[in-house]
Homo-oligomer: A and B are copies of this chain.
């Protein structure tokens, strides 16, 4: 998922889809690239699970998967929580050992 989000065009597509579902041609319109290039980016986004699409007649409609987006967010949130806890432990340690703070 992070690889899928690493490309600015794909982040643009995700941003557009966060405002609601869109057809492939709607997604392609603002992008300065060929339709095959857009389809390839969509393929990467679909493989990552971030985007789902369904075809009705000749129109393929794409939408974001909130669960996949949530799990990418959760991974980062967990690391941030771990970091906050480790900074808290350091703060507690320094409060209990003021002589260490002077040395650093």
Instruction: Give the interface of A toward B (CB within 8 A).
Output: 2-3, 5-6, 11, 14-15, 17-20, 64, 66, 69-70, 72-73, 75-80, 82-84, 86-87, 89-90
- When chains A and B are docked, how far (Å) is the Cα of A90 from the Cα of B90? 47
- When chains A and B are docked, how far (Å) is the Cα of A89 from the Cα of B15? 17
Tell me the number of copies of this protein.
2
State how many angstroms separate the Cβ of A41 from the closest Cβ of chain B: 14
A76's contact among B6, B20, B76, B89, by CB below 8 Å, is which? B76
A20's contact among B2, B6, B75, B86, by CB below 8 Å, is which? B86
* A15 and chain B: residue at smallest CB distance: B79
Q: What are 28 A-B contacts with C-beta separation under 8 Å?
A: A2-B2, A2-B5, A2-B6, A3-B3, A3-B6, A11-B75, A15-B79, A17-B83, A18-B78, A18-B80, A18-B82, A18-B83, A19-B86, A20-B89, A20-B90, A64-B83, A66-B80, A66-B83, A66-B84, A69-B79, A69-B80, A69-B83, A70-B80, A72-B76, A73-B73, A73-B76, A73-B77, A76-B76
